[in-house]
Amino acid sequence: MADIRNRVSPSGSRGIVPRVIRHENAVLVCILIGIIAVMAISTKGASITPSNIRNVLLQSSMRGIASVGQGLVLLSANFDLTVGGLATMGALLGATLLTDEKERSLFGSPIVPALGILMVLLATLFIGSVNGFSVSRLGMPPLIVTLAMWQITLGIAYQLGSGRSVAGLPKSIGFFGHGEIAGVPVPVILFLVVAGIGYFVLNYTTFGRNIYAVGGNPVSAYLSGIKVRNIIFMVFAISGFLTGLSSIIILSRGMAASMLVAVGFELDTIAACVIGGVSLFGGRGTLIGIVIGVLIIGFLTNGMNIIGVNPPMQEIVKGVVIIGGVAADTVRQRGGS
């Protein structure tokens, strides 16, 4: 019996740790716990109060919904820099459609909130579809297309709001940012629903498997009968739609919109995906990893805000995180080749 224990237990204990370390999401969870602990110590417990954790989840939900769309684009070996400009445009479009301030209203008077929300989602879906068409059908580089569209959407946003904040929104729109269902904030529920659908699509549908195939090797995917151009078009369109959904929550949370509502949003979504293990080379990453990456960015940003780190330094930190993630991914790619 002792001999059996000596043969099984040591090997079993030695086997558990390597298996955990090799599991990328388990490592991410450890990193998340470490960041929460460090921030809790640095803020003397202020970052782990129930009210602050709730605030982190709310902020992370807005970022997380757009990050799911960004993640799909990255998995296809593309990327979407439009996210920040599109979120700003969506928020200001919604504000100008719903405001009761006649001089700021797009049509001179507010429209029905449900119709306003639908118009925002259709507008952002259209922009995402233009990105997808330009990349998939016209063969344009995603960097150029989405960077140009980022500037275009910011320009449209400025024209909509004339560079000023737009308020005077109906109270009903506040449900998407401040409402609760069974005690759970609506933004968190929406994020969980989007993440759940994304997880199901990526793991249990042909479309999800095709995204991985296109990102891993588009030539092989094409030769296997996958309609590569359709897949690329769809992921950009989905990214646009989900960014629009995020913009509605942003608008609802602030009950106003301005050019500053989504500053750095594109950087945050890319950082969340890269931290979550999504390869910028495409074809590798998980939805669970994206969710954990969103939470890591959320707690990191929140902790820096509490400590008093200025916004430019926060952007530097996020940039360093992205570079670190890309460097690690590059090393993994070379190791696997």
3-state SS, 217-273, equals CHHHHHHCCCCHHHHHHHHHHHHHHHHHHHHHHHHHHHCCECCCCCCCHHHHHHHHH
- DSSP state for residue 172 in the 8-state scheme: G
What is the reported pLDDT for 8? 45
Residue 27, pLDDT score: 82
For the chain, count helices (H), then strands (E). Answer: 14, 2
Q: Which residues of the chain have pLDDT under 70?
A: 1-24, 329, 332-333, 335-337
- pLDDT score for 1: 47
In the chain the beta strands, taken as DSSP E runs, fall at: 180-181, 184-185
Does the pTM exceed 0.85? Answer: yes
Closest CA to 120 of 82, 91, 160: 91
Rounded distance between C-alpha atoms, residue 28 and residue 31, angstroms: 5
Q: What does the pLDDT read at residue 15? A: 59
Nearest to 80 by CA among 123, 138, 127, 139: 127
What is d(CA 247, CA 125) in angstroms, rounded to the nearest whole number? 12
Smallest CA-to-CA distance from 265 within 133, 154, 144, 119 is with 154
User: Whose structure tokens read 């759940």?
Assistant: 196
Residue 84: in which H helix or E strand, if any? helix 83-98
Any idea which residue has 């233009």 for tokens? 130
C-beta separation of 293 from 277 below 8 A: yes
Q: Return d(Cα 300, Cα 20) in angstroms, integer.
A: 24
Instruction: Give the per-residue pLDDT at 290.
Output: 95
In this structure, are residues 191 and 66 in contact, taking their beta carbons and an 8 Å threshold? Answer: no
Neighbours of 270 (CB within 10 A): 26
**pLDDT number for residue 104:** 87
Note the pLDDT of residue 229: 97
Query: What is the predicted pLDDT for the residue at 83?
Result: 96
d(CA 216, CA 220): 9
Query: Residue 74: its pLDDT value, please?
Result: 96
pLDDT score for 311:
84
